[in-house]
A and B are shown apart, each in its own frame.
Chain A
Amino acid sequence: MIESLRSKSKELLENGTVSLVIGYAEGSKKGKTKPFFAYSSEDCDKLTFSPQCVNNLTIYLTRKFTFMKKGKVAIVAKGCDVKTINVLIQENQLKRDDVIILGMSCDGVVGKDIVHDGEQLPDENKSIKCLTCDVKTPIDYDHLFGEEIKSEALEPMTGGIYDAVKEVKAMSWSDRWKYWMDHFERCIKCYACKKVCPLCYCDVCITEKSRPQWIETSAHARGNYAWNIKRAMDLAGRCTFCGECDRSCPAEIPLNIINQELAMTVYDSFENYTAGYQTDVTPPFVSFKEEDKEDFIK
């Protein structure tokens, strides 16, 4: 799998199809890999793939990283990462022809702070997103690496994170409020959540707008609440559950729960819409229908 990934990457660079291959290399510490940019055949020998490849590399396709792009690029993408590419295409941030997808068959990556050696990854060491994964073989790719893995038929919005969301939703209003305020209290406003999110691609973020200051820079209860709610709302109907914000949060705020709570709401309210599976439909929050079921919008 790794050998064929390397040789295909070399071929694409050597024949000039792409100028850059975005992939993974061994990390600096045990059980870690890191994002890696291969510009030459020599670089390609460092490319790797394993359950430690947790990063969603599609962040490097967004406008935050335009400085490093020179023409067409190839990207190593797991099934979950390809869903992000689909949303970027759907939102006109990327053209399908701009990118060569090196799709990886993936049976799960490691969960946060888990150090795992070897190929076989038991469920308890997997990231929670992998427990309900239905894209073990990516839904779109130019080249596929590894054996095709059939995803089991899953009950939508059930198991894994969805059960965790339901637990929080079952709380009383006051308990839920306390649950979230206790978590948001720990926020240190490092903004790792937005910086690792491939769908947070605005040139200027609302957090940087100071006239007026929409989101207070203070890490106090109001400032933290405003930021966390705002970030989650912006991802409603867009988040593909790559889980990068949750993984990167140094304050251990369960961002997967709030993001997927919104995803479930969108699923229920917009004809079972789930982000990342189609590029040719209008996302629910930018569509308008005269027959909208809500009166306030008419």
Chain B
Amino acid sequence: MSVNQLSEDAFYNLIDDLNSKGTTVVAPVRNEVGMVQYEKVTSSKDNFAFDEVIGRYSPKDAFFPQHETVLRYREGENGVEVKAEEPEINDTVLLGIRPCDAAAMISLNKVFTWDYIDNLFTERRKKAVIISIACNEADESCYCTSVGFAPDGKEGSDLLFSKIKGGGYLAEALTDEGETFIANNSTCFSKKDKSVELEPIAEVTDLGVNIEHIKRWLDKKENFEHKVWDDLAAKCVGCGGCTFVCPTCHCFDLVDEPYGDQGKRVKNWDGCQFDHFTLHASGHNPREHQPQRWRNRFHCKFKIYPDRFEKKGCVGCGRCIRVCPVNLDITEAMIEITAMES
């Protein structure tokens, strides 16, 4: 695979070039209230935030939007007419997401192609090129290296950009799609200069955890009702903050929104931390209390994902820690469980 480089100017020209070709460009921008989000950008003059440690939300909604219509229905003379929604899916470039978020896309893809192929997700993924920028900075919530990833990790990206000292990026193609992207936008890229020196890669706190040991502990049936869940998660208030900002959380709900004799079926994000998520029609709720719901999320990351999809469920982006209103820190559970199993 080839390694090229592009100057600071070429980097921003690339955004304009892609837009002029009709490609959707999604990049980190600082919005009007100061949050950094991955949004569609239209010009190289947008309020970019490529140096931000990480966006507030994950970029998963580029492929798995929080809200989308899957079908429309109408009561006609011959019964109910149903029409599947076929959204126009544009060529898209995710420019400047972080390696952890790119790695998460592999895990998400596994879920959406498991027993049922979710065309809305897979079509968007197929038409997208993922360009990650290696992290030169981490904050105290980042822990990618503790779950087997790296601030300059390559998993899930088509191209990895690394910041060059003094400006510009080194561009490493990681997939055929990445190579094609460079070929199609060759005016922005130049041959790698031998003397090129990169900005140092971020140092990420090592939690000293072992995810194999965590998995082994979770596999033991007697630990399902372990008191650690109550100890850690009794304070959880049950909001959906952690699941909605998480790059691998993927649960959704299908609901009908009727308007008279017509309506649409929509697919909306849902989260296992909500009390009604597992509520049965009978009124029974198998996860009656919040610590059980929090245990489920932890299981999903460190046991269910590896068991069912042979993938990691947590990429260490740290968003759930940053967003939690009660400082329920997943790494505390990881540390405690590692200690119990070692």
- Please report A residues at the B interface, Cβ cutoff 8 Å: 27-30, 32-37, 55, 59-60, 64-65, 67-68, 182-183, 186, 188-192, 194-196, 208, 210, 213, 216-220, 223, 244, 247-248, 250-252
Flag if B321 contacts A28 (CB, 8 Å): yes
Flag if B326 contacts A190 (CB, 8 Å): no
Task: Answer whether A213 and B276 are a contact pair too, CB < 8 Å, given A188-B244, A196-B239, A220-B67.
Answer: no
B325 cross-chain contacts in A, Cβ below 8 A: 55, 192, 195-196, 244, 247-248
In the complex, which residues 41-60 of chain B have their Cβ closer than 8 Å to any Cβ of chain A? Answer: 56-57
Q: Is the interface of B mostly helix, strand, loop or mixed?
A: loop
A183 cross-chain contacts in B, Cβ below 8 A: 33
| Most chain A beta carbons < 10 A, residue from B140, B241, B255 | B241
Flag if B234 contacts A68 (CB, 8 Å): yes
Bound complex: CA A213 to CA B263 (Å): 13
Query: Is B35 in contact with chain A by the CB < 8 A criterion?
Result: yes
- Closest 7 A/B residue pairs (Cβ): A248-B325, A192-B239, A34-B327, A28-B329, A195-B239, A190-B240, A195-B237
Interchain CB contact (< 8 A) of B66 among A182, A188, A252 = A188
Q: Closest CB of chain B to A188's CB: distance in Å?
A: 5
B276 cross-chain contacts in A, Cβ below 8 A: 208
Q: Closest CB of chain A to B246's CB: distance in Å?
A: 11
Q: Closest CB of chain B to A63's CB: distance in Å?
A: 12
Task: Answer whether A189 and B327 are a contact pair too, CB < 8 Å, given A219-B268, A252-B35.
Answer: no
A208 cross-chain contacts in B, Cβ below 8 A: 276, 279
B253 cross-chain contacts in A, Cβ below 8 A: 217
Flag if B327 contacts A213 (CB, 8 Å): no
Flag if A182 contacts B32 (CB, 8 Å): yes
Flag if A218 contacts B268 (CB, 8 Å): yes
Bound complex: CA A36 to CA B233 (Å): 10
- Interface bits B219-235 vs A (CB < 8 Å: 1, else 0): 00000000000100011
Bound complex: CA A252 to CA B32 (Å): 10
Q: Closest CB of chain A to B67's CB: distance in Å?
A: 5
Flag if B257 contacts A32 (CB, 8 Å): no
Chain B residue with the shortest CB-CB distance to A29: B140
Bound complex: CA A28 to CA B268 (Å): 32
Chain A residue with the shortest CB-CB distance to B325: A248
Q: Closest CB of chain A to B338's CB: distance in Å?
A: 15
A189 cross-chain contacts in B, Cβ below 8 A: 66, 240, 244, 268-269
New A-B pairs, 11, CB < 8 Å, besides A29-B321, A59-B237, A188-B244: A36-B235, A65-B234, A68-B234, A183-B33, A192-B237, A192-B323, A195-B239, A216-B255, A216-B257, A250-B241, A252-B34
Query: Is B266 in contact with chain A by the CB < 8 A criterion?
Result: yes
Bound complex: CA A187 to CA B141 (Å): 23
Query: Is B289 in contact with chain A by the CB < 8 A criterion?
Result: yes
- Interface bits B228-270 vs A (CB < 8 Å: 1, else 0): 0010001101111101110000000101010000000010111
Task: Jot down 23 A-B pairs with beta carbons below 8 A, ordered by A.
Answer: A29-B140, A29-B327, A33-B327, A35-B235, A35-B327, A37-B235, A183-B33, A186-B33, A189-B268, A190-B244, A191-B239, A191-B240, A192-B239, A195-B325, A217-B268, A217-B270, A219-B269, A220-B67, A248-B241, A248-B325, A250-B57, A250-B241, A252-B34
A244 cross-chain contacts in B, Cβ below 8 A: 325
